[in-house]
Amino acid sequence: MHRTFAVLLSLALVAACGDGSKKPADSGAPAAATTSGADLTGAGATFPYPLYSKWFNEYAAKTGVKINYQPIGSGGGIRQLSEQTVDFGATDAPMTDAELAKAKGGPVLHIPTVLGAVVIIYNVPGLTQPLKLNGETIAAIYQGQITKWNDARIEALNPGVALPASDILVVHRSDGSGTTYVFTDYLAAVSPAWAAKPGKGKEVQWPVGLGAKGNEGVSGQVKQTPGAIGYAELAYASQNKLSTAAVANAASEYVAPTIASVTAAAAGAAAKLPANTDYRVSIVNAPGTGVYPISSFTWIIVYDKQTNAEKGKRLVVFLRWALTDGQGSAAPLDYAPLPESMRSALVTRLGTIQIPQ
């Protein structure tokens, strides 16, 4: 990975963790984003933060428009947009109908920006090849039913691999998280037991495990703890040089998370989405060969009816740039660009956002 990306992740850690003596913005009433010197303010998902940071820096250099973004988690981004304390939010979990109804600024538009993979990361000293895991096994680990790395169910998926008899330490997100939503959406799709309890959501009642804040927190905890397993966005796993599992997909293939396998998961999505849709669609456990099964869109969320003419225009122009020129930055940072047909439809949709004259 690039040196600049390491700097971005360090900034993400500082921004997401902040002063430990202060209440996190994602844990209660939304706090207004810092606006000093910024032309636009946003808050939300850590999942796309490495890419968004690059976008905001490039866009400022190109246009002079400064965008301040707080990577506080998808739940916080939804709350801040709903309370109208930011100009846009970012989330990996589409807003529910109930959340949309509570948004103070009226109808909200979901704009997919790129695709990413939630990967299973682990720290098992001595392993020399990637682990193979399926949905039922991952669910059993996170339900506390599999507690040793040499459990027969893991060994059956990895014949010939010498697995240690050490304990498994489960790591999960402690904050309201779109990454958690994607991960639990997948588990609910492949495991009836998980679907029954704890189910899917930005926050769930974890049966076992240790919580960590943000993708960077989970990645850091797994990296420093032998025997640990967690989930994080692919870019964070790559930057931290963490091992990632090949996961069984709907075609019973074990597929590693790559740009190609994430793109394959979205292959049929664009054709199924009509223009002017809200684009709230899940692609976990998608059918087809070569598909990585824990893939997802990530969204920027904005009000369909803007109240500030200058900010509304700036926001639409930036989003148009992100959906066109900005897509070229996705793959180098381990994200998959949107299908071309979807990009075209979204650019058309941006033209219908209402901006006061």
| Fold match flag (3-116+265-350 vs 118-258) | yes
Q: Tell me, what's the pLDDT at 9?
A: 42
User: pLDDT, tens digit, for every residue of 163-192?
Assistant: 999 999 999 999 989 999 999 999 999 999
Q: If you average pLDDT over residues 186-209, what whole number do you get?
A: 96
In one-letter notation, the amino acid at residue 348 is T
Pick the CATH number of 3-116+265-350 from 3.40.190.10, 3.40.50.920, 3.40.50.720, 1.10.3720.10: 3.40.190.10
Q: Tell me, what's the pLDDT at 272?
A: 64
- Flag whether pLDDT at 120 surpasses 60: yes
Residue 200: both structure tokens together = 């899917």
Name which residue leads in pLDDT, 28 or 289. 289
How crowded is the C-beta side of 227, counted as CA atoms within 13 Å?
13
Residue 325: both structure tokens together = 């020129």
- Flag whether pLDDT at 292 surpasses 70: yes
- Flag whether pLDDT at 47 surpasses 80: yes
Does residue 112 have a cis peptide bond before it, meaning omega lies within 30 degrees of 0?
no
Residue 176: both structure tokens together = 């309201």
Who's near 21: CB < 8 A, 6+ residues apart?
Answer: none
- Flag whether pLDDT at 357 surpasses 50: yes
Confidence of residue 11 (pLDDT cuts 50, 70, 90): very low
| Exposure b/e, 172-207, CB count within 10 A at least 16 = b | bbbbbbbbbbbbbbbbbbbbeebbeebebbbbbebe
Give percent of the chain above pLDDT 70: 87
| Exposure b/e, 16-41, CB count within 10 A at least 16 = b | beeeeeeebbbeeebbebeeeebbbb
In one-letter notation, the amino acid at residue 169 is L
Top-ranked range on mean pLDDT: pick from 24-28, 35-39, 235-239, 310-314: 310-314
Q: If you average pLDDT over residues 263-277, what whole number do you get?
A: 72
- Flag whether pLDDT at 33 surpasses 80: no
Q: Tell me, what's the pLDDT at 274?
A: 62
Q: Tell me, what's the pLDDT at 271?
A: 63
Confidence of residue 54 (pLDDT cuts 50, 70, 90): very high
Who's near 271: CB < 8 A, 6+ residues apart?
Answer: 341
For residue 140, what is the enclosing H or E element? Answer: helix 135-142
Is domain 118-258 annotated with CATH 3.40.50.720?
no
Q: If you average pLDDT over residues 204-233, what whole number do you get?
A: 96
Domain spans of the chain, in order of start? 3-116+265-350, 118-258
For residue 15, what is the enclosing H or E element? Answer: helix 3-17
Q: Tell me, what's the pLDDT at 270?
A: 63
Residue 349: both structure tokens together = 């949709």
On average, the pLDDT of the chain sits at 89
Q: Tell me, what's the pLDDT at 276?
A: 57
Q: Tell me, what's the pLDDT at 341?
A: 83
- Flag whether pLDDT at 15 surpasses 70: no
Name which residue leads in pLDDT, 161 or 17. 161
Q: Tell me, what's the pLDDT at 113?
A: 97
User: pLDDT, tens digit, for every residue of 92-119?
Assistant: 999 999 999 999 999 999 999 999 999 9
Confidence of residue 329 (pLDDT cuts 50, 70, 90): very high
Residue 249: both structure tokens together = 């997909």
SS3 301: strand
User: pLDDT, tens digit, for every residue of 132-168?
Assistant: 999 999 999 999 999 999 999 999 999 999 999 999 9
Placement of tokens 């939304």 in the chain: 30
Query: pTM for this structure?
Result: 0.83
Confidence of residue 27 (pLDDT cuts 50, 70, 90): very low
- Flag whether pLDDT at 24 surpasses 90: no
Rounded to 5 degrees, φ, ψ at 170 are: -85, 130
